[in-house]
Amino acid sequence: MSPFDTPIERRGTDSIKWGKYAGRDILPLWVADMDFAAPPAVLAALHRRVEQGVFGYGHPWPALEESVLTHLINEYGWAIEREWIVWLPGLVSGLNIACRAIDGEVLTATPVYPPFLSAPRFSDRVLNRADLTQRDGHWQWDMEALAAATTSATRLFLLCHPHNPVGRCWNRTELQALADFAEQRDLIVCSDEIHCGLILDTDKRHIPFASLSPAAAKRSITLLAPSKTFNIPGLGSAFAVIPDAALRRRFLRAMDGIVPHVNVLGLAACEAAYRDCTDWHRELLAYLAGNRDRVAATVAACRGVAMSPVEATYLAWIDVRGLGLQNPAGHFEAHGLGLSDGSDFGATGWLRLNFGCPRATLDEALRRFSAACQAA
Ligand SMILES: Cc1ncc(COP(=O)(O)O)c(C=O)c1O
């Protein structure tokens, strides 16, 4: 039995995911956290920090920065410098700060994680939207659509890499095409790489956008966090990597007075997550890949629904347009399953299913999924 098989009761706790359907028999497979405990080394680091007992204002310390630098080298062969790091209480803050910092219109590709669509608006920026496309059952970039959506006023490109919700781990050729495009149009690329530790296909690797070339690095803001991979999003610990000093200053200026220090427990957890959890991480990926395969098999066996291969993340992006439902999310809720509504991601008729949960939960959820499809 895997440690990930152990169910942990989250009903009646502080969980947003489970609280949404409190008192109703609906399994919540929506918001992106997993129903697993954090790695033992992270829990031990948190216990040690709590034992010290003092929770004054804190700043990042050398061993923490060392764990970030070593992790990025070991996992991605990406050498960064300490000064390039800007600590943040979350990735969504980072997306909004980028929109605030860069004057001009903002480009992104849909479907996409909803804050990519709201952040430009919050900073009074015009949003340029292009759709990703599905070719041969795989999600791809449509470079023509991207070019058509871009105007002479576009200055910032929000990239989701790996992509939530379509589950692609963009490869070097695709990333280089995006880097060339950014160069031609003089765009800053804000690359949200929060899911980079969740590459499920063993023959694929995450390539940080900024690691492509010095030219790509110079126009990059990379947003990272241990939160998705090690399941600690509630601890609010994240950071941006911004190699270019002038761009980093603009980003820092946009944070002035509104972005708090990262909390000390989040920092302690980050250090341990990146340094001491390699085995836990490997086991997690194998477990999630198994869950992913179960979801794919169920979807393939149901009429009227379809999904592309999930290379990365614990999120399946499911096309339910073939079921002809007026309110897809409501229909699945009526069958005991809480999924994310594709409309929030810019794609009506799609649902996102979070398979970061014990097999027993997933199997029951998939039983309900099949029943909901049959009843449509
Ligand atoms: C692509 C992406 N970016 C950011 C976030 C959230 O980041 P944070 O909780 O650090 O603000 C998520 C959470 O699902 C995500 O999928």
Taking the centre of ligand 1 as the mean of its atom positions, its distance from the CA of residue 143, in whole angstroms, is: 25
Residues of the chain with CATH 3.90.1150.10: 3-31+278-375
Residues of the chain with CATH 3.40.640.10: 44-276
- Tell me how far apart the alpha carbons of residues 193 and 247 are, in angstroms, rounded to a whole number: 19
The residue with tokens 């959890």 is 277
Can you give the pTM of this predicted structure?
A: 0.98
160 lines ligand 1 (CB under 6 A): yes
97 lines ligand 1 (CB under 6 A): no
Query: Does 1 score more than 90 pLDDT?
Result: no
311 lines ligand 1 (CB under 6 A): no
- Tell me how far apart the alpha carbons of residues 341 and 348 are, in angstroms, rounded to a whole number: 8
225 lines ligand 1 (CB under 6 A): yes
Nearest ligand 1 atom to the CA of 313 is 16
Digit-coded pLDDT (tens) for 246-296 = 999 999 999 999 999 999 999 999 999 999 999 999 999 999 999 999 999
Digit-coded pLDDT (tens) for 28-73 = 999 999 999 999 999 999 999 999 999 999 999 999 999 999 999 9
Digit-coded pLDDT (tens) for 165-208 = 999 999 999 999 999 999 999 999 999 999 999 999 999 999 99
238 lines ligand 1 (CB under 6 A): yes
For residue 16, the one-letter residue type is I
Class of the 3-31+278-375 domain? alpha beta
365 lines ligand 1 (CB under 6 A): no
Per-position DSSP letters for 179-213, written without gaps between them: HHHHHHHT-EEEEE-TTTT-B--TT-----GGGS-
Class of the 44-276 domain? alpha beta
- Tell me how far apart the alpha carbons of residues 376 and 364 are, in angstroms, rounded to a whole number: 19
Q: What are phi and psi of 271, to 5 degrees?
A: -60, -50
